[in-house]
Amino acid sequence: MPYSARLQRLESAIEASPLGAMVLNAGPSLPYMTGLHVHLSERPVVACFSPGTSPTLVLPALETQKVQHLPFGMDVYTYSESLPSWHTAFEAALGHLPEGVRIGVEDGVLRFLELNYMQKAAPSAQFVSGEEIMASLRMRKDITERTLMKEAVRMAEEALRSTLPHVKPGVTEREISSRLIARMLDEGSGGELPFQPIIAFGPNSANPHAVPTDYAAREGDLILFDWGANNRGYFSDLTRTFVLGEPDDVIRRIYQTVEKANAAGRAAGKPGVTAGSLDAATRDVIDQAGFGPQFVHRTGHGIGLDVHEPPYIRSGNDVLLEPGMTYTIEPGIYVPEHGGVRIEDDMIVTEDGCESLTTYPRELTILPV
């Protein structure tokens, strides 16, 4: 991983902003910058980056072995189970910062636990959002990240292939979810999946964020899989929808519309276009087919170390796509009396267009009963 280059990019971004430092706690951006993987727990972990000084790191003493191979020099301050030692470590890590410094934090990651210790260690500091800085760094994936994500897609697709033959009338959503998870682990996925797979049969598929239940599949049901694997912290996120036995005419029409919308969204991606224009591309197809009110969510989201991250593929988002950005295209139509259809692909922006990391077929597939 090119960690030193990432450090240089982060320091340059800080210097170009009103910030004097950036702090990261346990979450996806910490391993992105340092390669250090720690769980978010009751013991705080914080890294502080300030141009012109060595990065500092606060972590519990029991994690010391993890810092033996950091990719660049960091001043490491550890603490014991004695609570006063926690405050001492934070003071040592942040005490070098100038009076009144503006420190960037990640809005959706930083907890009051870490904030409280940092405010006591640097009482004159201002803690403000640094979300955009980290998003701008992480949105553009390098070649190593792209390779990891492609493998995460492969794991997920192979798991689906070996799970589908078990979808028969009478099998439950929970049973198929369990089998799919086991197969992803067999393919090499990390145990911390991006989310619990959404396995939804029949009427349950009309709920975009359904959770597996004891509903047993019936002939004629839509069979929706929304799932993803974890390859060394990088996620995949796919959706495919099938029919168990012959579909009725309405289901066929819904499926064909979603398939066409997915194709339009994939084709619209290229450098220089807005994220919002991709949402418009899929939504126009569904609107023209008369199913606009049944498309109830955005077209997609960025993906990488987080399963949902910038850029968000939604109406009004003026972020311009750039080479290396990765995102999903996942239009859907949800009709309670028939069920829901969603087709989701993981995309990457290339120098002159975009490429689908997912390869699993998208056409309507009828599963045998």
Q: What is the pLDDT of residues 77-116, one digit of tens each?
A: 999 999 999 999 999 999 999 999 999 999 999 999 999 9
Cα–Cα nearest to 312, from 324, 328, 332: 328
143-367, what's its fold? Creatine Amidinohydrolase (3.90.230)
pLDDT value of position 1: 64
Is the Cβ–Cβ distance between 222 and 242 less than 8 Å? yes
Q: What is the pLDDT of residue 91?
A: 97
Residue pair 238/150 in contact by the 8 Å Cβ criterion: no
How do beta strands 56-60 and 46-49 pair?
antiparallel
In the numeric block, which tokens belong to residue 223?
A: 């069979």
CATH class in words for 3-138? alpha beta
Instruction: Flag residues of the chain having pLDDT under 70.
Output: 1
Domain boundaries, the chain: 3-138, 143-367
Give the position of tokens 């060394």: 232
Q: Report the C-alpha gap between 343 and 114 in whole angstroms.
A: 40
